Amino acid sequence: MSKLSDLYSRCRTVFLACDEFHSNDSLRAVFASSQLSGYSHKIPEANIRDQRVDFCLFFLRDKQLKEEPVLALFLEILGSRYPEDDNLHIELNKLAKEVRIELSGLQYTLLPTLSKIDVGIVLALKEEFIELFSL
Q: DSSP characters for the chain?
A: --HHHHHHHHHHHHHHH-GGGSSHHHHHHHHHTSTTGGGTTTSPP-SSHHHHHHHHHHHHTT-EETTEEHHHHHHHHHHTTS-TTSHHHHHHHHHHHHHHHHHS-HHHHHGGGS-HHHHHHHHHHHHHHHHHHH-
Residues 64 and 95 in one domain: yes
Q: Give the chain's domain count.
A: 2
Residues 91 and 135 in one domain: no
Residues 96 and 57 in one domain: yes
Name the band, by pLDDT with cuts 50, 70 and 90, for residue 104: confident
Can you give the length of the chain in residues?
A: 135
**Which one, of 85, 84, 95, lies nearest residue 10 by Cα?**
95
Q: How many CB atoms lie within 10 A of CB 29?
A: 14
Residues 25 and 56 in one domain: yes
- Kindly tell me if the per-residue pLDDT of 128 is higher than 90: no
Provide the residue range defining the domain that includes 77.
Answer: 3-104
Tell me the range of 14-23, 32-41, 115-124 where mean pLDDT is highest: 14-23
Supply the pLDDT for residue 134: 59
Residues 77 and 113 in one domain: no
- pTM strictly above 0.85: no
Name the band, by pLDDT with cuts 50, 70 and 90, for residue 115: very low
| Tens-digit pLDDT profile for residues 56-83 | 999 999 899 988 999 999 999 999 999 9
* CA–CA separation, 85 and 43 (whole Å): 29
- Kindly tell me if the per-residue pLDDT of 84 is higher than 90: yes
**Which one, of 98, 101, 122, lies nearest residue 110 by Cα?**
122
- Kindly tell me if the per-residue pLDDT of 100 is higher than 60: yes
Residues 92 and 111 in one domain: no
* CA–CA separation, 30 and 20 (whole Å): 7
Q: Taking residues 10-34, what's their average pLDDT?
A: 94
Residues 61 and 89 in one domain: yes
Residues 56 and 10 in one domain: yes
* CA–CA separation, 34 and 80 (whole Å): 11
